[in-house]
A and B are shown apart, each in its own frame.
Chain A
Amino acid sequence: MYVGPSFAMAAAIEPEAAGSTAEERRVPLTVERLFRDHGEAVYRIVARLLGPTAPRADVEDLTQQVFVAAYGSLSRFRGEAAPSTWLYGIASRTVLRYLRSWRRHRRMIEALESIAEPAVPQPDQVIGDREVLGRVWSCLLRIKPKKRLVYLLHEVEGLSGKEIAAALDVKEATVWSRLHHARRELDAMLEAMGVER
């Protein structure tokens, strides 16, 4: 008898906020459903939090860690937040734990530097989108992970301050403060790198 997080297995949980429609709310919340509905979003946020130089195997490994962790705590999920918010919280903690190794973080920055080579362009030089992206990442990876996380969740994933606060289990004021600092640092670094458009 297989009792792990199978994609055929349904945990008998029906949190009120698990789905947005009445039909969805009647469907039991399972790892299969979570993965089907939010697998791509979780993979994307993990990949974005790690940056473009992270090995793809690490992104996949962390994504599966998120869903295995979700399976482990599915019974404790009360449905007070949307499943996506809950998964974002698990993903954020998983990635922050991974990034806590200073050496690992440093390696990622160095890998990016070797790709991006962010030299200040000549005034008449027009830089392409790929190069701009490289420079943006080069700056983002220099911002502390907690601030970077809030920046990406808000600016790129489009989560509200309230949703981020719920996912990260912090006050909303903390979210806005981190976002403010992240934008300020990013702006200063982009300006120094000559990204003007």
Chain B
Amino acid sequence: MTCPERSAVHRGEISQEHVAECAECRAALARLETARNVLQADLPKFDGPVRARVVRAIEARGQREAMLQRWLWAATGAVVLVGLILLWVRPPQFADDAPMVAQPKPPAMLEPQARALEAGARIEAGRAAIAAVNASSLVVLSRESIRLNAGAIWVDVAATESSEFRVETPFARIELVDARLLVEVTREWTQVSVERGQVRVDPAGITLSAGQRWSSQIIEPIPPALATVPKPKPRASRVVEAIQETPPVAPPPAPPAAVRWLAEADRLRLAGRHAEASDLYRTIALDPASAPYAEEALFLRAQSLAAMNDPRTARSVLDEASTRFPHGALLPERTALASQLALDAGDPIRAAELLEAVEDVTSPVVLEARVHAAQGIAARDRARALELLDARDFERAPKALAALADAARAEIERNK
């Protein structure tokens, strides 16, 4: 049986009277004291040789930096000197009969800008708002187009102009006007999921509407030498040249069964037919040939089960996902869902424990779940709630989420 005062031992607020009476608290106190004593007695040795090595290393590092600094000064001086000499030996040249009029400037050439985005990062790329779901590498080609080389991003383009915005990937060219979509790119495939509006995907030549998903599913990247599609005609713009550098691709083969099943299950889920969707997701999760999609299928099945008010089965499905994919790509989403299920079941402590175990605290879904868990646990454990809302973790979160955390923090502080 656990003594209710044992928590006071951990807080360092236990009374001597209680310790004298309660064997359990006495043992807990003794354990912690033993731990402290053996740790204090175990002094790491910082003897002469160690000290000398560290001193030498600090000085050596300092000398390297000093040398680098000297070289930088020398190089800067040399560049300035060369510039001055060139100016001195080349007097300005004016043609006698040339009129002194300003030459028109050539049109500004847009340089493609490579961007490495961390998970959760948000940027404006021309007309599009980009939010990175995980670490992504993209190139902003122009105001109208970007190229995603790796990662997963949300692209949101509002219909302020009639022209199309283009997202290039190694396996697809996506054109959209007023839409929001998720684009995922790996070395093997590209996947497009549309949340709002319509997009056109080439070279597949299909149009996707809201709620639909397309995947290239090329298992092996096609070497450029084997590609049969002729290169597009060259144009003058360097921007277009940059696009042409991407290897030409062959039309993708038909997607494997798992992708078709996932699309069908998604359609059923979005239509509110959760029982049928759940069965189909289970089929995908159990199918050995669909192993690359198993984690996604398990997570989506848990979502459908939660929507069907079957939290118990949803939890067991999430447990299965944790066992099979302890460090899967959907770990933040799975943890957030498990925490929500715990909150719904009236167990905010479990919700907090789940979220505290997540090492990566940059994921917006985890941060949002932490806000909910903090609100749930505030009445029982205010300090723990405030730790879940630690402002430094929310520094790089989307503004709306940071504001939500601020409001929750203020509310908890008010109810002190």
Contact = CB atoms under 8 A, between A and B. Distances in A.
Contacts of A184: 7, 10
A186 B34 CA distance: 11
B51 interface: yes
Contacts of A1: 66, 70
A68 B51 contact: no
A27 interface: no
Contacts of A180: 7, 10-11, 383
A152 to B, nearest CB: 7
A144 B390 contact: no
Contacts of A191: 27-28, 31
A136 B39 contact: yes
The SS class assigned to the A binding surface is helix
Contact of B58 (A64, A169, A186, A187): A64
Contact of A71 (B31, B40, B62): B62
A118 interface: no
Contact of A133 (B11, B42, B359): B42
Given A43-B50, A177-B384, A187-B31, A64 B63 contact: no
Nearest to A59: B44
Nearest to B384: A177
Contacts of A11: none
Contacts of B42: 52, 133
A60 interface: yes
B59 interface: yes
Contact of B62 (A5, A44, A60): A5
B32 A68 contact: no
The SS class assigned to the B binding surface is helix
A196 B54 CA distance: 39
Nearest to A52: B42
B46 interface: yes
Interface string A44-64: 100110001000100111011
B118 interface: no
A60 B10 contact: no
A171 to B, nearest CB: 8
A166 interface: no
A173 B61 contact: no
Contact of B35 (A3, A5, A43, A190): A190
Interface string B6-37: 11011110000000000000011011101110
A60 B34 CA distance: 28
Interface string B159-184: 00000000000000000000000000
Interface of B: 6-7, 9-12, 27-28, 30-32, 34-36, 38-44, 46, 50-51, 53-55, 57-59, 61-66, 69-70, 327, 356, 359, 383-384, 386-387, 390, 392
Interface of A: 1-7, 31, 35, 39-40, 43-44, 47-48, 52, 56, 59-61, 63-64, 67-68, 71, 102, 129, 132-133, 136, 139-140, 144, 152, 155-156, 169-171, 173-174, 176-181, 183-184, 186-187, 190-191, 195-197
